[in-house]
């Protein structure tokens, strides 16, 4: 993600509060970030996610709408807004948002998974199956990529050790 964070220290505190499930505290800190920079999409999305965790669905929806207005090509905002619409029972809007997220980022597994679950809920087993299969293939691909990256790192590390060279990162 190429997003610029103007106040990284404040973001880190807000993210830590979110990770500790201190959602009200994270909302306060993300709100401070938004006050400093009203165009900080990441702060809007993150605050929306915290509102969503507290079931403040209308507030979350407002934050995701704002994030989409600022960065209409960010898949995550559509996915999260789709989750709100699904919770509210507005399934056609949820489906549109999940589909938009996938169109923007075809390898966004969470959106594929959410859309598959929604298709199941809507009784469309064929499309649910298609998304579930796409999600499975994507997951296998990502696991394979991770394993390859790990093997490449390990191979390079072993080569360094065999040559008697100390890894400069772990001295």
- Domain of 117: which CATH number? 1.25.40.10
**Residue 161 resides in a domain:** no
Distances (CA, A) of 61 to 6, 77, 151, 171: 24, 10, 42, 48
Total domain count for the chain?
1
Asked which of 76-80, 140-144, 164-168 is least confident by mean pLDDT, the reply is 164-168
End-to-end Cα, the chain, rounded Å: 30
At 171, list the tokens: 């001295």
Q: What's the predicted TM-score (pTM) here?
A: 0.79
Whole-number percent of the chain with pLDDT over 70: 81
For residue 72, the enclosing domain spans 8-140
Whole-number percent of the chain with pLDDT over 90: 75
């Amino acid at each position: 993600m190429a997003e610029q964070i103007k106040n990284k220290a404040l973001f880190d505190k807000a993210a830590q509060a979110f990770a500790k499930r201190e959602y009200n505290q994270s909302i306060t800190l993300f709100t401070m970030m938004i006050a400093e920079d009203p165009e900080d999409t990441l702060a809007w999305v993150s605050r929306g996610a915290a509102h969503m965790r507290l079931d403040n669905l209308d507030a979350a929806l407002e934050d995701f709408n704002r994030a989409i207005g600022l960065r209409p090509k960010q898949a995550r905002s559509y996915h999260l807004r789709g989750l709100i619409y699904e919770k509210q029972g507005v399934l056609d809007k949820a489906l549109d948002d999940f589909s938009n997220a996938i169109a923007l980022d075809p390898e966004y597994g969470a959106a594929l998974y959410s859309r598959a679950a929604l298709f199941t809920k809507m009784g469309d087993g064929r499309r649910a199956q298609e998304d579930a299969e796409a999600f499975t293939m994507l997951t296998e691909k990502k696991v394979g990529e991770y394993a390859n990256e790990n093997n490449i790192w390990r191979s390079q590390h072993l080569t360094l050790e065999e040559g008697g060279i100390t890894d400069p990162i772990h001295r």
